[in-house]
Amino acid sequence: MKVAIKQNKNPATAQDIDGQDHLIILIPRSTWPDFPYKEVLQRRVEKQSADDHAPYSTELPNNRDTRVSLARIAPDLSPFDTLTLARKLAAAHWQRELSPAKVAIVTAGFDTATAARLIEAVTAALLAKARPLPSYKSDQKPQRPLKTIEIFASPAGLDLAGTVAEAEGNHLARALTVLPPNELTPARYRERVAELAREHGWRMKFFDIKTLRRMKAGAFLAVAQGSAAQDDGIVHLRYEPKGNSKKPALALVGKGICFDTGGHNLKPAKSMQGMHEDMAGSAVALGTLLALSRLKVDFPVDCWLALAQNMISPLAYKQNDVVTALNGTTIEVVHTDAEGRMVLADTLALACRAQPAFIIDYATLTGTCIYALGTGYSGAFTNRAGLINNIIGAGVDSGERVWPFPTDSDYDKALESDIADVKQCTLEGEADHILAARFLNRFVDEKIPWLHLDLASASHKGGLAHIPTATTGFGVRYTLDLVLAKKIMRQS
């Protein structure tokens, strides 16, 4: 679904407004600047007793009964709060049977930079709202697609290409993540990825079970051996810009556990509910690859997807098994429900062989990260302490917030094994998100800068920032800011 974005440099006239069915108006909280229907809206807003931080929705007294959502915005509103407000403004135009084909945006009273920031946030929210996620309801009614966003008084130089690319990548991530586990097995996931590769000109290679056995990727294979289908494996995709294929690449690595039973350490029903979304990290990596490809970045991007299922079966791996990873590290299995770090271990080691300029991995990895942060933030771990400010800053500026955790080497003591090089985890569960990062660090070449994102906010009830669904696709927008605005690859 493509949405046309029309940028009109001129302020909206009364005639322009009367030609709209759906309108979003943004003005400063401290004043009422001039714009069409100002007096009508001012009387209505000031008459209500509701908190003026919240959007106000009404219909204009014209022939179209134009649906309006209006926000009075404080000058110090954070990017996250701006995106949250934008989500609420957009939601006012998708009520009951209402589904707009066109939405206009009007700003008044702001400087150019502020107006551009607000318009970008509302555009992001509209694009996120406009594309429905897969549904299997038999009475599902088709939604009229949003075809046009028209911006009045568009600031000079406003470039929304990144917003459009981010929206496409985020939607791909969310759409894949919500698919039921019988629809997104590793084999079917790979088929979908192959279609995307053909469409976007990505090179694709699949490391199947037989290949991984030859490569001695024992950490990945330990998890895969419990699956009757034996369709697990690692997908490698590569985007190459014209003329710059020799540049060092950005490597994106994603945990793609299509369903997680917990293995022999079986999850209870409440914990197993929703485990088809344990592949969210791989979907974010793939969505980020799509967004960067759409933007035609001038550096190569490698994307590595660790696709597997963690099943219970007579052949499934067990506590106290010892396996040897791709890089030769021996691992003592302690808990079969800590499978994510196992498949990521070999996938990270494989990604390092190409000596990328930077590695980012995405994973719904630990419950302790959710306990520490809730689901409004995701956890960040890096082997380059000097990048911490940029890692935090990208979260602040993108509205997809992260918080860094320590990765000091003294945490390794908890992972010491009597029989192998390292324990997979501990049974105590204390600081498991940090221990998981320390475990993964063993499989990353120390010469390569690395960021591990533990996606505590992959799911957030009611939506998060500009995203209207509980499944958030968190990470695509964050990575675009980190890589393109913060230029993290140059600074590392």
Q: What is the average pLDDT across 465-479?
A: 98
Active site residues: 267, 341
Q: What is the average pLDDT across 442-456?
A: 98
Domain 167-491: assigned CATH number:
3.40.630.10
pLDDT tens profile 241-274: 988 778 899 999 999 999 999 999 999 999 999 9
pLDDT tens profile 76-109: 999 999 999 999 999 999 986 678 999 999 999 9
Q: What is the average pLDDT across 341-360?
A: 98
Q: What is the average pLDDT across 205-213?
A: 98
pLDDT tens profile 108-143: 999 999 999 999 999 999 999 999 999 999 987 778
pLDDT tens profile 152-182: 999 999 999 999 999 999 999 999 999 999 9
pLDDT at 140: 77
pLDDT at 49: 58
pLDDT at 195: 98
pLDDT tens profile 21-72: 999 999 999 999 999 999 999 999 988 755 556 899 999 999 999 999 999 9
Q: What is the average pLDDT across 191-202?
A: 98
pLDDT tens profile 367-390: 999 999 999 999 999 999 999 999
Provide, rounded to the nearest whole percent, the portion of the chain with pLDDT above 70. 98
Q: What is the 3 state secondary structure string of the chain?
A: CCCEEEEECCCCCHHHHHCCCEEEEEEECCCCCCCCCHHHHHHHHHHCCCCCCCCEEEECCCCCCCEEEEEEECCCCCHHHHHHHHHHHHHCCCCCCCCCCEEEEEECCCCHHHHHHHHHHHHHHHHHHHCCCCCCCCCCCCCCCCCEEEEECCCCCCCCHHHHHHHHHHHHHHHHHCCCCCCCCHHHHHHHHHHHHHHHCCEEEEECHHHHHHHCCHHHHHHHCCCCCCCCEEEEEEECCCCCCCCCCEEEEEEEEEEECCCCCCCCHHHHCCHHHHHHHHHHHHHHHHHHHHCCCCCCEEEEEEEEEECCCCCCCCCCCEEECCCCCEEECCCCCCHHHHHHHHHHHHHHCCCCCEEEEEECCCHHHHHHHCCCCEEEEECCHHHHHHHHHHHHHHCCCEEECCCCHHHHHHHCCCCCCEECCCCCCCCHHHHHHHHHHCCCCCCCCEEEEECCCCECCCCECCECCCECCCCHHHHHHHHHHCCHHHHC
Average pLDDT of the chain, as a whole number = 96
pLDDT at 143: 80
pLDDT at 46: 86
At the topology level, CATH places domain 4-154 in: Leucine Aminopeptidase, subunit E; domain 1 (3.40.220)
